[in-house]
Structure 1
Amino acid sequence: MSQSYEKSRPAYRQSYEIIREMIISGALPRGTKIVEEKLASELGVSRTPIRESIRKLEQEGLIANKKVVNPSEKDLRNTFQVRILLEGYSARCAATYLHENELALLKECVRVGRTGTIDEIMRANESFHEIIVQASNNAVMIEMIDRMQSIIYLFRRTVVYYNRPFLIDEHERIYDAIHARDGQTAELLMQQHLQADLEFCLHLLSDKKSTSHH
């Protein structure tokens, strides 16, 4: 990303990304009250971009009632139920519609997933799901998934950072089914993959609850 592009990006977009990262990394812990003036002075911007960022993060479900959300098990289940339906369908579409160059990109995501640094694996994981979702060619569906991006990102980090077993093997099997143009198998594998992500996150949540004596 070029320097001039960085500078010309609206303050709102940068503020949004920084605040999102603070929430996701835990720098703004769950349950923290969001104070516009404080964030504005910390980020060195006016309150307008902060206000816009907060609005977008509210839409994405990371902030509610001016506080950082603390997603409950129910929120987690609800989000994943929607993903399982929509991304399962997208994987079926991908088996029909993905071109050779997109298949090559998917394959590359799997390779990086096996060999990359944590950050590279995060990005590869994100791209893997993104390529498949775009394959649905359904703007309404893509937008629904987009609105859940922050919550998805929050849990994707959990899955990668805590090194969920078989994550990349599952990606590879999904890729193989899509490559073989087997939509039914691709859909089923994607549903099972996301279900396994859900179970993993729920398990971590309950572990954290039982050990949260801080």
Structure 2
Amino acid sequence: MNKQPFQLAYLTAYEYIRDKILSGELPRGTKLVEERLAEEIGISRTPVRESIRKLEQEGLIKQKRVVNPSSVDLQNIFQVRILLEGFSARCAATYMSEETLGRLHDCITIARSGTIEETMKANKEFHDIIVQSSNNPQMIDIIDRMSSIIYLFRKTVVYHKRPFLIDEHQEIYDAISAHDGDRAERLMQEHLQADLDFCLHLLKA
């Protein structure tokens, strides 16, 4: 088998299915049928099967269905985020350069005045910049592998307009800018706990 065409087909299938899940076109709980997806994309079933496997590893698919996270699933995912991103914020307060601080502040400015899509992008970049500033490849890799499921929850809090979201980003930025690692870590942990509480409230509604 020629690896390059397969890799291209696999990547096409992966992005096609992932984007349909993240956009809501494939609602939570939807059963994925390999034959139908292969026909829609215009490729064979094998790359579709492999892309589904990768999306299962990322947490977007479970037992061939679009994930419909339970409260326990939410809590488990956020426990990892609270630990890793809290520590990343502490590291950022020590290591983040002035140039990167400027990019972090730009994310807040865009999120305050932008469209929902622009706010989503700025929100993602804000957290990504802080995680990258941990300078810990293992931590960065763990968060990266969770990125799709994290995006799903970020979308929930942005689209449902969780109160004080951007104000909390400003407070985290201020702590990092002041090189206050203890405060940066605590504020990030509180920020993510508020996200979790908000998502759990929506789940019960």
TM score, norm. by length of structure 1:
0.89
- Please give the alpha-carbon distance, in whole angstroms, between the structure 1 residues aligned to 2:168 and 2:46: 43
- Please give the alpha-carbon distance, in whole angstroms, between the structure 2 residues aligned to 1:15 and 1:172: 38
Which shifted more, 40-49 or 172-181? 40-49
Equivalent residue runs for 1:21-100 within 5 Å = 21-100=19-98
Q: Structure 1 residue 40: deviation in Å? A: 1.1
- Please give the alpha-carbon distance, in whole angstroms, between the structure 2 residues aligned to 1:85 and 1:48: 37
Report the equivalent of 2:13: 15
2:134 matched to 1:132? no
| Amino acid corresponding to residue 89 of structure 2 in structure 1 | A
Q: Structure 1 residue 17: deviation in Å? A: 2.0
| Amino acid corresponding to residue 56 of structure 1 in structure 2 | K
- Please give the alpha-carbon distance, in whole angstroms, between the structure 2 residues aligned to 1:74 and 1:10: 36
CA RMSD of superposed structures (Å): 1.2
- Please give the alpha-carbon distance, in whole angstroms, between the structure 1 residues aligned to 2:68 and 2:11: 23
Secondary structure of the equivalent of 2:74? Answer: helix
2:139 matched to 1:141? yes
- Please give the alpha-carbon distance, in whole angstroms, between the structure 1 residues aligned to 2:47 and 2:123: 29
Report the equivalent of 1:152: 150
- Please give the alpha-carbon distance, in whole angstroms, between the structure 2 residues aligned to 1:182 and 1:172: 14
2:193 matched to 1:206? no
- Please give the alpha-carbon distance, in whole angstroms, between the structure 2 residues aligned to 1:35 and 1:161: 29
Q: Structure 1 residue 113: deviation in Å? A: 0.7
- Please give the alpha-carbon distance, in whole angstroms, between the structure 2 residues aligned to 1:20 and 1:42: 14
1:69-123 Cα shifts (integer Å, max 9, x gaps): 2110000000001100000000000000011111010000000010111111100
- Please give the alpha-carbon distance, in whole angstroms, between the structure 1 residues aligned to 2:8 and 2:100: 30
TM score, norm. by length of structure 2:
0.93
Structure 1: unaligned runs, 5 residues or longer: 1-8, 208-214
Structure 2: unaligned runs, 5 residues or longer: 1-6
Q: Pick from 120, 137, 152: which aligns with 2:118?
A: 120
Q: Structure 1 residue 10: deviation in Å? A: 2.7
- Please give the alpha-carbon distance, in whole angstroms, between the structure 1 residues aligned to 2:12 and 2:117: 19
Report the equivalent of 1:110: 108
Secondary structure of the equivalent of 1:10? Answer: helix
| Amino acid corresponding to residue 22 of structure 2 in structure 1 | I
| Amino acid corresponding to residue 179 of structure 1 in structure 2 | S
Q: Percent identity?
A: 68
- Please give the alpha-carbon distance, in whole angstroms, between the structure 2 residues aligned to 1:175 and 1:10: 39
- Please give the alpha-carbon distance, in whole angstroms, between the structure 2 residues aligned to 1:171 and 1:188: 12
| Amino acid corresponding to residue 140 of structure 1 in structure 2 | Q
2:157 matched to 1:162? no
Moved over 3 A (4+): none
- Please give the alpha-carbon distance, in whole angstroms, between the structure 2 residues aligned to 1:181 and 1:111: 21
| Count of equivalent residues | 199
